[in-house]
Structure 1
Amino acid sequence: MTTVSDTTVETNLDTALAAVGSEIARTDGKSSLLLAFTGAVLAGLASVADKHLPPATQVFGAAGVLALAAASVLLLLVVRPRLRGGGRESFPAWAVMSEADIREVLHGDLRAARIRVLSRIAVRKFRRLQRAVDLILAALALLLLAVIGALF
């Protein structure tokens, strides 16, 4: 059985904490890009809303718009700040603590607890991002069907 040195554990904790923070930043960046995309598509679709279109095009188009709207909601939830929960190892808790309480809490090593909290946040963000991408792909398929219906 091999033992891990304290230095290795310290390095691993620092690396893991930085990695989780990076993953959260990635989800926020991807979500912002996808929000801009869905917003542009919805704005473009609004320009044809008053046009007389075949019934099939209207049905597929409306379903596509609803899917894009649902994706937008999920993306907004990804970038929405989370200010509750997390325990004493998270900054929302520190905002309501006295300076003495903060010093007491920070006296110990909180990295493992922070990694746990931030990992849960990252997983939740990635799941919502994944669902939003699935909805965007479904919306694009529905909008393609709407276009095909308008051509025939």
Structure 2
Amino acid sequence: MSPETMTAPGTDAVLAAAYAEAKTEIGRTDSKASLLLAFNGALLAGVWTVATSLPLHPAALAVGAVGVGLLVASVAVLLAAVRPNLGGASPKGCPLWAQLPAEQLRAALLADDLAEHVARLSRLAVGKFVRLQRAVDLTRAAGATFTVAALVAAVLALLGGVR
């Protein structure tokens, strides 16, 4: 056995644990993104209800429109985060396995590429986390903008500026 093919004791267990962790992180990210998509949808519905049922000053509507734009951007980023990654021109893992005949599938599954698979899944998880973080930041910015719009509307209403 050459030094390149020897593995340290426990290496397979460590790789298996890393693989499981990467898969878990992907699942957690998808769950968080789904919850935030639902929250953003409810927030958009609420904003629409307020904007169409109350007499609001155009300045408050303009500030609110910025918030809606931020919220829509957040939704777009979240949809990118949960969009399935099928590997494009060079699929790996399940998308590749779905294309292989039984003999090639067996060889692919028996190949010792778990470390590569863990690295690829980890990159995928980190990409999802980055998009989720951006979406949360956009949602927070939208919330701050809606707060400003509400303050503008309240101040202008107190000053008699509602049209």
Question: TM-score, normalized by length of structure 1?
Answer: 0.90
1:55 matched to 2:58? The reply is yes
Aligned pair partner of 1:149 in 137, 141, 152: 152
Structure 1 position 85, deviation (Å): 4.1
Aligned pair partner of 2:78 in 68, 72, 75: 75
Looking at structure 1, the residues matched to 89 and 111 of structure 2 have their Cα atoms a distance apart, in angstroms, of 16
State the match for 2:11 in structure 1. 9
State the match for 1:115 in structure 2. 118
Structure 1 position 55, deviation (Å): 2.3
Looking at structure 2, the residues matched to 122 and 55 of structure 1 have their Cα atoms a distance apart, in angstroms, of 42
Looking at structure 1, the residues matched to 55 and 132 of structure 2 have their Cα atoms a distance apart, in angstroms, of 34
Aligned pair partner of 2:99 in 96, 100, 104: 96
**SS of the residue 1:7 aligns to:** coil
State the match for 2:22 in structure 1. 20
State the match for 1:36 in structure 2. 38
Deviation string 1:28-82 (CA, Å, 9 cap, x unpaired) is 1111111111000000111123343112211110000110111011111111211
Structure 1 position 108, deviation (Å): 1.8
- Structure index of larger Rg: 2
Looking at structure 2, the residues matched to 34 and 88 of structure 1 have their Cα atoms a distance apart, in angstroms, of 29
Looking at structure 1, the residues matched to 11 and 103 of structure 2 have their Cα atoms a distance apart, in angstroms, of 28
Unaligned segments of structure 1, at least 5 residues: none
Structure 1 position 87, deviation (Å): 4.8
Asked if 1 retains the 8 angstrom alpha-carbon contact of 2:60 and 2:149, the reply is yes
Structure 1 position 137, deviation (Å): 0.7
Q: Which amino acid aligns with 1:36?
A: A
In the superposition, relative to structure 1, how do residues 88 and 44 fare at CA in structure 2: closer, same or farther (>3 Å)?
A: closer
Structure 1 position 14, deviation (Å): 0.9
Q: Which amino acid aligns with 2:43?
A: V
In the superposition, relative to structure 1, how do residues 146 and 19 fare at CA in structure 2: closer, same or farther (>3 Å)?
A: same
In the superposition, relative to structure 1, how do residues 129 and 86 fare at CA in structure 2: closer, same or farther (>3 Å)?
A: farther
| 140-149 or 94-103, which deviates more | 94-103
Structure 1 position 88, deviation (Å): 6.2
Asked if 1 retains the 8 angstrom alpha-carbon contact of 2:74 and 2:139, the reply is yes
Unaligned segments of structure 2, at least 5 residues: 1-6, 156-163
